Amino acid sequence: MPPDGSQGETAVTTQIRLGDITIHRVVEQEAATFFAAFEFFPTLTKELWEENRDWLQPRYIDQAGKVVLCVQSFLVQTPHHNILIDSCVGNHKSRPHRPMWNMLDSDTYHKNLAATGIGVADIDYVMCTHLHVDHVGWNTRLDNGRWVPTFPKAKYLFADRELEFWTAKHKEDAAAHPWVTDSVLPIVEAKRAEVVKSTHALNDDVHLFPTPGHTIDHFSVQIGRTGRDAVITGDMIHSPLQARYPDIGMRVDYDAKQAGVTRRNLFGRLCDTPTLLCFAHFPSPSTGRITRWGDGFKVIEA
């Protein structure tokens, strides 16, 4: 893989159709292996690993024991709006603590966006499921030394308590939160932020619902009507391992226990229904449905 994490020239696109709604994937990094599984999932035991490695390896955890991750946006095209959900890492962003995302200079994201037929000027809304570094990056781009909104006419939706939390963290220690400096606050300053509750409904086809735990006010997005619907999960799950064992937390969870309850609730509700889930970080195709598996759940890729 080239150093920017891209896979050369190939545009990665997928179209998911739900009636008159189309969901496109816009991939920035594919099959990236940044984190060792035992570090990424601190409560994963050797016993559970041995019991499950047959189905996990090499697809979800590679032979070296690293979690296989995709970094992507989901672009929802409805008859009324183009909505980009999560905005990946972005270019030219100084991330001294994350070498794999430091000062990226790649055309992969824009190529993959262009392949959907929707341009930056066509995006009406950007929604950030939460305000972590890999979900806000393309909110802004560098223009003559200034961070300006990448999507010139978009409103950017942030959950109120999420924005409050990260703004306070940034106030305490700006250097430790560079993505807030360059990818969140410039949107607020440009008066492009629409601060909403994590229960906000955009219209009958698109509404947010709270999936807290990974961060304080994380939301997921429900798309379409019952029977022909999808859920954009954001980071309420990072690996099918956390469907099989909903209580396994991820290294930077705000409240790992609450994140486990969130997974049990959502997967219990969606179990054996036609609802398609679109997972931010699962390897391609990054989509699937939920069924029961013992005390937990299985993701049937679709």
Q: State whether the Cα torsion 23-29-32-34 is positive or negative.
A: negative
Pick the closer one to Zn ion by CB: 135 or 192. Answer: 135
Taking alpha carbons only, the member of 71, 66, 72 closest to residue 37 is 66
Question: What's the min distance (Å) between Cβ of 135 and Zn ion?
Answer: 6
Kindly state the smallest distance separating residue 130's Cβ from Zn ion, in Å. 8
Residues 222-241 that bind Zn ion (CB under 5 A): 235
Q: How far apart are CA 256 and CA 129, in angstroms?
A: 17
Q: Which is nearer to Zn ion, 22 or 258 (CB)?
A: 258
Per 3-state DSSP, the chain is made up of helix, strand and coil in percentages (nearest 5) of 25, 30, 45
**What is the rounded distance in angstroms from the CA atom of residue 263 to the CA atom of residue 231?**
13
Q: Output 22 or 285, the one with its CB closest to Zn ion.
A: 285
**Nearest distance in Å: CB 272, Zn ion:** 27
Name which position in 4, 134, 182, 205 contacts Zn ion (CB under 5 A): 134
How far is Cα 145 from Cα 291, in angstroms, rounded to an integer?
Answer: 49
Least distance from Zn ion to the Cβ atom of residue 132, Å: 5
**Rounded to an integer, what distance in angstroms lies between the CA atom of residue 259 and that of residue 212?**
6
Stretch that binds Zn ion, among 20-28, 129-137, 176-184, 263-271 (CB under 5 A): 129-137
Looking at the Cβ atoms of 162 and 235, the one nearer to Zn ion is 235
CA distances from 183 to 39, 42, 280 (A): 27, 29, 19
Residue 238 Cβ, how far from Zn ion at the closest point, in Å?
Answer: 7
- Nearest residue (CB) to Zn ion, 21 versus 131: 131
Contact footprint for Zn ion (CB under 5 A): 134, 235
